[in-house]
Amino acid sequence: MKCWLVALLVVASSLAEAAGDRLEAGRAVYNYRCYFCHGYSGDAKTLAASFLDPRPTAFVAVDPGRLNEGLVLETLRQGRSGTAMKSFSGILDDQEMTAVAAFVVDEFVRRKAANTRYHTAENGWPDHERYRPAFPFARGEIPLSRPWEALSPEEQGGKRLYLASCVTCHDRGAPQADDVVWDARPLSYPRNHFSLAAPPVDAMASASPYALHDRVPKPGRLSGAERRGERLFQANCAFCHGADGTGRNWIGQFLEPHPRNLTDPSFMAGASRRTIAHAIREGLPGTSMPAWKSVLGEAQIADLVAYISRVFHPLPAERR
């Protein structure tokens, strides 16, 4: 009996270890591929989620009886029509998709856990505690719209720190309905501790190459339509495509496939005003480019196309 018991314990231990390894592999995939929309803690409280309609699934809010690994795996393989959730079949192999499906269900759906801590020295965030006064704004505990005069001196200092160092990624903190429109310039790299001129001082300085692509071009005199298109592009499109249209900014390089480089002659040679307008209106299947037809009207799309054609690459009127 003792031999059988020992054997069973060994088998159980091996299975548990294998399951743990699979969940950790899934965690690594999730933290690289999925957190941007679904949230690091599976709650979909992200800046990207606030721009998407329908919003990404908040896994921690799902009843465990309604979402299992099979359903998550099916979504990863096929995507979800009518949403920004694309198929990952060409990006992740089956083992990676199986692992991340298991992780999502175990970590968020069943256990409602918070995932591992992101702001660590290994992830490029040394001494993150120095940002503690800003934490209430990042967590949504204090709305960013709260008037300065309604904040204590300590809270005012935390808000200044938040606006200087955290707002690029956290935006409104835990994005939610707010009583003012919060218009953040769509810089896509960590703003603190980098310099284009000075040598790197820590891990975050490596973000500086991306800063080059978040500079708004200065093309000279623009027409009325081109000026309106510039405002629309920099407010809505620059977050993924970069302010300079190259897609070589931090978020652009994170996404796969990368956003289109609107300055690339080889790509733009096959485009026209009609095809670019169609891509904006309907989105691009198999990519992170959503359909904007429910957000932008035809006149706004035309203004965007005018700006792209003037500033990034000339576009012919028609190309079949």
- Distance (Å, rounded) from C-alpha 282 to C-alpha 296? 11
Q: What is the pLDDT of residue 51?
A: 73
Structure confidence at residue 228 (pLDDT): 97
Classify residue 317: in a domain, yes or no.
Answer: no
CB of 167 closer than 8 Å to CB of 187: no
CA distance 188 to 252: 8
> How many angstroms separate the CA atoms of 103 and 307, rounded?
43
Let me know whether 72 and 150 are in one domain: no
Burial 103-133 (b: 16+ CB within 10 A, else e): bbbbbbbeeeeebeeeeeeeeebeeeeebeb
Indicate whether 124 and 103 sit together in one domain.
no
Q: What is the mean pLDDT of residues 28-57?
A: 84
**Residues of the domain holding 259:** 213-311
Mean pLDDT along residues 37-47: 85
Choose the final residue of a domain: 139, 163, 184.
184
| Residue 193, domain member (yes or no) | no
**Which residue stretches of 34-134 are H helix?**
35-38, 47-51, 69-78, 94-104
Distance from the Cα of residue 233 to its chain's centroid: 17
Report the predicted TM-score, pTM, of the whole model to 2 decimal places: 0.55
Identify the pLDDT of residue 194.
Answer: 40
Q: With cut-offs at 50, 70 and 90, classify the pLDDT of residue 209.
A: confident
Within 10 angstroms of residue 190's Cβ, the number of other Cβ atoms is 22
Q: Does 11 reside within a domain? A: no
CA dihedral of residues 119, 125, 130, 134 (deg, nearest 10): -50
State how many domains the chain has: 3
Rounded to the nearest 5 percent, the helix, strand and coil shares of the chain are 50, 0, 50
Residue 179 and residue 30: Cα distance in Å, rounded?
A: 33
Q: List pLDDT tens digits, range 233-287.
A: 998 999 889 999 999 987 888 787 889 999 999 999 999 999 999 999 999 988 8
Cα 213 to Cα 230: distance, rounded to the nearest angstrom: 15
Please state, in angstroms and rounded to a whole number, the distance separating the CA atoms of residues 47 and 229.
Answer: 22
Q: Is residue 201 part of a domain?
A: no
Last residue of a domain, one of 89, 110, 131: 110
Domain boundary among 63, 92, 110: 110
Are 142 and 225 found together in one domain? no
